[in-house]
Amino acid sequence: MAIEDVSSRSLTELVSLEGRRAVVTGGAKGIGSAIASRLAEAGADVMLADIDEVGAKVAAQEVAARYGHRAIGSVVDVADPASIAALADRAVLELGGIDIWVNNAGIYPSVPLLDMTNDDWDRVLDINLRGTFVGSREAAQRMIDAGHGGVIVNIASTAGYQAAGPGVAHYVSSKHGILGLTKSLAVELGPKDIRVLAVSPTLIETPGIEANLESFKAAGLDDVLDQMVARLPLGRAGVADDVARVVMFCASDLAGFMTGSSVLVDAGDVAV
């Protein structure tokens, strides 16, 4: 089955996500919440899923109040494949199906290599990489079962292209893995009319990053944020909506002939 040619559609039609159902993991705050907001603004019904169920429900209420589309908060532990499968089932039951699945949930701890335990490594890979794999698998299965295509967007990182400083070997490895996974899934799922893309941000000001910067400061690296920003050609760190707008583009028919690639949202970081 060939992907539809949407050349005859107007720009308004290409941007619109009316009638589509989206799931965003890690949706309680930061990038995930911003993504859900932009998808809802474009017309989608959204399920915001997070290990923080209360936070997800609060974020969903805010999205619903702002845009008037259905927004449901749900719990998910992306380190647990059964939890991801249950989330996908709930999305089908409560939203009526899945058209867009965003694998956003992830962690960014800092542990020096010689102090990094097997458990430290496994936790990051289980959440960041295996969670993305399982989420993609479960979403794709339900899209196929419903007899229609869809879009899977994986949140990777500029760390998938380069090292990201000391202490994050597990994180860097997970993000390199997500880029490879995205390419493989695009090849396998393209004939099913499912597009798979990655979005790779640089430093984004989120609550998770702020917490991680505290660990850098505790290690005596007080100016690490200033150094990271100073090397960016566009001159500032990103905000969550910088990423959300690109995810919305990837999920829309504007990107209808794109799959398997990663879109850098990096202020020129990788070019330096």
Catalytic residues: 171
- Calculate helix-pair angle for 131-145, 169-189, nearest 10 degrees: 20
Q: Using alpha carbons only, what angle is made at residue 112 by residues 107 and 117, rounded to the nearest 5 degrees?
A: 75
**Residue showing tokens 């295509």:** 149
Tokens representing 191 are: 């004939």
In angstroms, rounded to a whole number, what is the distance separating the alpha carbons of residues 21 and 170?
33
The H-or-E segment that residue 75 falls in is strand 71-75
Angstrom distances, CA of residue 114 to CA of 87, 105, 169: 37, 26, 11
72 - beta bridge partners?
Answer: 47
